[in-house]
Amino acid sequence: MKKIGKFLASRLFKSVLVLLMIALFNFFLVRAAPGDPAEILAGQSGAVDAEFIAKLRTEFGLDRPMIVQLGQYLKNVATFDLGYSYRQQAPVTSLIAEHLPATLLLTITAFIFAVAAGVSLGTQAALRVGKWGDTVITTFSMLAYATPLFWVGLMLVLLFSVKLEWLPAFGYQTVGAQFTGLAHVMDVARHLLLPALTLGMFYMAVYARLTRASILEVSQLDFVKTARAKGLSERTVITRHVLRNALLPVITYAGIQAGGLIGGSLLVETVFAWPGIGRLAFDALLQRDYSVLLGVFFIASLIVVIVNLVTDILYTVVDPRIELK
Amino acid sequence: MKRILSRVAALTLSLGALSVGGVALAEAPTPQYGGVLSAILNPEPPNLNVALQQVAVTQLVAGKVYESLLTYSFDLKPQPSLAKSWEVSPDQLTYTFHLQPNVSWHDGKPFSADDVVFTYTKVLANTPRTRTLMANVESVTAPDPQTVVFRLKQPYSAFLHAFDIGGGAILPKHLYDVDTPITQNPHNNAPVGTGPFKFKHWERGSYIELVKNPAYWKEGRPYLDGITYRVIPDAASRRLALEQGAVQQAWLQDIEPIDQQRLAKLPHIGETKKGYEYWSTMLWIELNGGREPFSDKRFRQALMYGLNRDFIAEKIMYGTGTVATGPIHHNTRFYDANVKRYPYDPKKAIALLDEMGLKPDKDGVRARVGLIPSPYGEMSRRTAEYIKQNLGKIGVQVTIENADVGGWTTRMGNWDFDMAYNGVFQYGDPAIGVSRTYVSSNIKKGLPFTNTSQYSNPKVDELFNAAAQAPTEEERQKLYTEVQQILVEDVPLLWIADTNYSVFHNKRLHNVVTTGLGVVDTQSDAWLSKE
Amino acid sequence: MKDFLHAFCRHKGGVAGVIVIIAVAGLALAANWIFPHDPWEIVNAPFMPPMTDDTLLGTDTLGRDIGAGIAYGARLTLLLAAVSTAVSILFGVSVGAISGFYGGRVDQAVVGFIELFQTIPSFFLAVVLVAILTPSMTTVIFAIAVVSWPPLARLVRAEFMSLKNREFVQAAMLAGQSNARIILTQILPNSLSPVIVSGSLMVASAILLESALSFLGLGDPNAMTWGYIIGASRSVLRDAWWMSVFPGVAILLTVLSLNLIGEALNDALNPKLARKRTT
């Protein structure tokens, strides 16, 4: 128990360190950018003069020494104050909080789809190794692995929304519709389908390949050979003995992929006009709303750090053989 | 192909005429009360304090909640709004506004002349938009709660043309005369005004809900129970929402230019080109006159001849703009079409470059220049790409330089550019929206949206100044005509297009556009017929 | 060498990949001959569907030829991917080599650094970098390099750590060779095969990254890359499917081929490891 506590403490420390580095990186990057936020805000008013810019600069603390700004910035980040959006006139934290649920809905759905479909496809392929079914699944995952995420999205829209008119192409819910209860859930689900499929496709391919390779590897191990020797059917051997062990690397990978999913959501949310933090970041990008862009970047990193922490812990729980360092 | 195109154009023209007729007919039925208008909002506005932010979307929403002293007819004549009537003294130095009686703020507090004085002296005098106007003003006073008096330092003939909602929204003194800096006042996102609609709720990323103000000062208005502005960031979804009736109103570039003609043909969709007269945005390519070879008039003229502006208007803007003839938009007051023309003529352009001695080098290049597209929207990007190709043909090699919003304004302001795409409002009167780009007193390094081309011509300065103070319209017209002719000859910048946007609406929605401010105006007369 | 070729050719996918890559490279080189005009040149009416008049793959919103865009795009896309991969290999190998060879504090710091980079959502990082440093060829290459070096550094580090203790290295050390010489002449040549394998996979992912950046409008505005064409097609998806379909297929085929080549190389270079391959 003590060991676990120590392990947790060291992981936590590392995570905090990572976040600190990201905060530092954010701070210096924005100061390396051309133009300053005061000018951007001023530019959007349609006309501007030096006095006005200077006023804004004082108001936003941009005229204080760098080190003071840095100290203030770190203090703010530590208290989840990610700054103020000059453009949207709202605290970045609350903007992100408003957009985060949509992103979580999308990424978690995509993740569940990717793992479920990927693991079962991988298992099926492993069961039919070298046969026709394996070739189809392997080829499919090769293809999905090589396709740009945003392009998959566009092609799905072209097929399911433009050609077949089955599913809505964009957005989170039907504009202006006053659905409640189940109808509302169904409406959102219909909108969720394509983006989640798009985001999940690539990782499905990853998991299919991973599961297949992992199963093939584990099935060469001695205990599996023993099971086989006992005369159990191949299917039973795979499901009872192999799969459980083969899924361990899949869990580790899930942690690593969190970052990829979040990054992918930037593209997918842009393609599908999905109102999550990826879309928020993209809009901020167009407007060069630095505080929002970097705030989203920080929160995305934070989520990845948390997911990694959780998978690390999960891993030690699932597999007691893992030595705690 | 060309013949087909012109036939299509003729067809759309006649359809346009029909739908204008349709609007006229539809005004005959008696207005009905009730119904909530759903309108497109794109992009989502940064905030709703229109005194601080003049982006179009802020004006669209805030224009229902706040009001200004005046509004403007389609031919840009001042009309009553919060001011019931007004007088100008014979020496043109004193403007007296009489306010509407029985006006109250949405929180129940009474509205008075004090609010107007406060807004002008404490808020608008400091905003980039209105400080130029206020520079002419000596004092703003309220002799009684119903009267506001502006005393001017010198005559300023455009004075009555700067009282639109974007330049003169009146804020409640009791909520803004506080210690918090105005940029952080909580009411910027939950405005309290005097208009026909009250702010109710803003669901960021989704919608802004306004509801009817039952205590509105205009008897029997508004007709609508409310307006919900729906944020729809995606172009295809916007078109679909309008097509299917989920929203009933779209403006500016809510509908992609390429889709507009198709949409206008739907039986339940109406289109009007009215309601943009006040802004009359012009799109142009700014030239850095402080740099070689832009300082040479022949080079600037060569660029003008070398640009196929018809292609841009037809194939990139799809009729949301017409080729510009000069510095004044054809819908702005004092426009004169009688100026030198620059048809697409690459031969003439090359002849001018030859005359200057700009001979092609071994790659066929006569000059190398940079072009910064505006960071807003795809159209500017496509236009820049086209200009690059177009000017390449006369031996001017263009490199497109990416700049974000900050970079774009900063580089233009600091004269750190060769050519830059820009779109500028004209605000109804050349003295407000046009002269600022050309007079030498407005060459101000560091400030964007000034005379960043650094064009300087004493004759032009003199004409613009005289026109701003000339007492009669006839005199002003004469002066502006002359200034237009000089500028068009000199080409301080490349005028690309006069924008010619449309408002699209479901035909259930009536009286969509009633003034030169279009859908930005209060829309207290708009009404919905039953389905 | 002969063995290597033999082993490589056994991998049918790899051979197919090589053929496709040669074809794409050929297209890139021959772009001038096939399409004598610039890809930005307006050569036809806008929105011409494929196989009409003299356009094979159709034209875009302004009447520019999609086929020309893809051919010239191949040039830029391959070039950008190759250069950024080269940069990140240079950096990744140096960092990995130093860390693996010297160990100790340096190694700890490097590992920490690698972990940091592997935790940050890499696509987000690339977007933030390009956006803030202003999009251009250089910043795009820089951003791709920044996000793709860590896995390679980790790989090289592991190679170096195990090779360091091998007899031939120990012998060189005893013979008094300088560290730099040992790294460059003894260890590096022996750890090249995984670098080559990752190299081909890195080019593939660089293409994906570049196209995603261009799609978001974060490419060089004067560069017509595949991602740019798809990005520009988005608003007219309903009117011109060909604008998005063809460049996407080009990306897909190229990336797929590079992945297949990577696998084949892996099998040919590390016959022992072939079975252990994961993604």
DSSP string, B113-157: HHHHHHIIIIIGGGSTTTHHHHTTEEEEEEEETTEEEEEESS--T
Q: Is B382 on the interface with C (CB under 8 A)?
A: yes
* Residue B148 β-bridge partners: B97
**B129 vs A contacts (CB less than 8 Å):** 45-47
Interacting residues of B152 by C-beta distance below 8 A, sequence separation 6+: B92, B93, B94, B95, B136, B137, B138, B159
**B407 vs A contacts (CB less than 8 Å):** 34-35, 288
Whole-number Å distance between alpha carbons of B300 and B349: 9
Work out the mean pLDDT of chain C and round it to a whole number: 87
**A14 vs C contacts (CB less than 8 Å):** 115
Question: Which residues 247-266 of chain C have a CB within 8 Å of chain A?
Answer: 248, 251-252, 255-256, 259-260
Whole-number Å distance between alpha carbons of B89 and B124: 23
- The segment with the largest mean pLDDT, out of B373-377, C101-105, C258-262, is C258-262
CA distance B237 to chain A (A): 6
Q: Is B235 on the interface with A (CB under 8 A)?
A: no
* Residue B285 β-bridge partners: B421, B494
**B261 vs C contacts (CB less than 8 Å):** none
pLDDT at A324: 43
**C61 vs B contacts (CB less than 8 Å):** 258, 316, 382
**A95 vs B contacts (CB less than 8 Å):** 204
Select from B52, B180, B185, B204 the residue whose CB has the most chain A CBs within 10 Å, as the one to mutate to test that interface. Answer: B204
Whole-number Å distance between alpha carbons of C132 and A33: 5
CA distance C221 to chain B (A): 6
In this prediction, does ipTM exceed 0.95?
no
Cβ of C123: how many Cβ atoms within 10 Å? 26
Which residue among B188, B247, B447 places its CB closest to the CB of A175? B247
Which residue among C120, C230, C251 places its CB closest to the CB of A301? C120
Do the beta carbons of residue B289 and residue B455 sit within 8 Å?
yes
The larger pLDDT score, comparing residue B249 to residue C39, is at B249
Q: Three-state SS across B354-395?
A: HHHCCCCCCCCCCEEEEEECCCCCHHHHHHHHHHHHHHHCCC
The three-class DSSP label of residue B58 is helix
pLDDT at B5: 38
Contact A217 C277 (CB under 8 A): no
- The residue of chain C with its CA nearest to that of A218 is C276
The three-class DSSP label of residue A12 is helix
Whether pLDDT at C179 is above 90: no
CA distance A144 to chain B (A): 26
Q: Give the torsion sign (CA, C172, C177, C180, C186).
A: negative
Q: Is B384 on the interface with C (CB under 8 A)?
A: yes
Whether pLDDT at C143 is above 60: yes
Q: Determine how β-strand B367-372 pairs with β-strand B396-400.
A: parallel
Q: Is A34 on the interface with B (CB under 8 A)?
A: yes
- The residue of chain A with its CA nearest to that of C204 is A146
Which residue among A48, A85, A89 places its CB closest to the CB of B188? A89
**C42 vs B contacts (CB less than 8 Å):** 386, 389
Contact A48 B447 (CB under 8 A): yes
Of A2, A11, A26, give the one whose Cα is nearest residue A77. Answer: A26
- Which stretch of DSSP H or E encloses residue B410? helix B405-413
Whether pLDDT at C274 is above 60: no
- Cα atoms found within 13 Å of the Cα of residue B438, Cβ hemisphere only: 31
Q: Determine how β-strand B83-88 pairs with β-strand B78-80.
A: unpaired
Q: Which token pair is B330? A: 């054809």
Q: Is B236 on the interface with A (CB under 8 A)?
A: yes
Do the beta carbons of residue C219 and residue C232 sit within 8 Å?
no
Do the beta carbons of residue B228 and residue A175 sit within 8 Å?
no
Q: Which amino acid is at B192?
A: V
Do the beta carbons of residue A86 and residue A289 sit within 8 Å?
yes
**Can you list the residues of chain B whose pLDDT is less than 50?**
1-27
Contact C119 A264 (CB under 8 A): no
Q: Three-state SS across A44-106?
A: CCCCCCHHHHHHHHHHCCCCCCHHHHHHHHHHHHHCCCCCEECCCCEEHHHHHHHHHHHHHHH
Q: Is C108 on the interface with A (CB under 8 A)?
A: no
pLDDT at B3: 40
CA distance C66 to chain B (A): 15
Whole-number Å distance between alpha carbons of B181 and B385: 43
Q: Is A191 on the interface with B (CB under 8 A)?
A: no
Q: Determine how β-strand B269-272 pairs with β-strand B78-80.
A: unpaired
Q: Chain-centre distance of CA B70, in angstroms?
A: 17
Q: The tokens 């081929």 sit on which residue? A: C257
Q: Which token pair is C130? A: 């390009």
Contact C235 B404 (CB under 8 A): no
**A48 vs B contacts (CB less than 8 Å):** 128, 409, 413, 447-449
Q: Three-state SS across chain C?
A: CHHHHHHHHHCHHHHHHHHHHHHHHHHHHHHHHHCCCCCCCECCCCCCCCCECCECCCECCCCEEHHHHHHHHHHHHHHHHHHHHHHHHHHHHHHHHHHHHHCHHHHHHHHHHHHHHHHCCHHHHHHHHHHHCCCCHHHHHHHHHHHHHHHHHHHHHHHHHHHHCCHHHHHHHHCCCCHHHHHHHHHHHHCHHHHHHHHHHHHHHHHHHHHHHHHCCCCCCCCCCHHHHHHHHHHHCCCCHHHHHHHHHHHHHHHHHHHHHHHHHHHHHCCCHHHHCCC
Q: Which token pair is B496? A: 């690309």
CA distance B418 to chain C (A): 16
Whole-number Å distance between alpha carbons of B186 and B208: 16
Cβ of B104: how many Cβ atoms within 10 Å? 15
Residue-wise pLDDT tens for chain A (325 aa)? 566 777 778 888 888 888 888 888 888 876 776 666 565 554 444 444 566 667 667 766 777 777 888 888 888 888 888 877 766 777 889 889 989 999 999 999 999 999 899 988 998 888 888 888 888 998 999 999 899 999 999 999 889 988 888 888 777 877 666 778 888 888 888 999 999 999 999 889 988 988 888 888 877 777 777 777 777 777 777 777 777 777 777 777 777 788 888 889 999 998 888 889 998 888 887 776 777 888 899 999 898 888 888 887 777 776 655 444 3
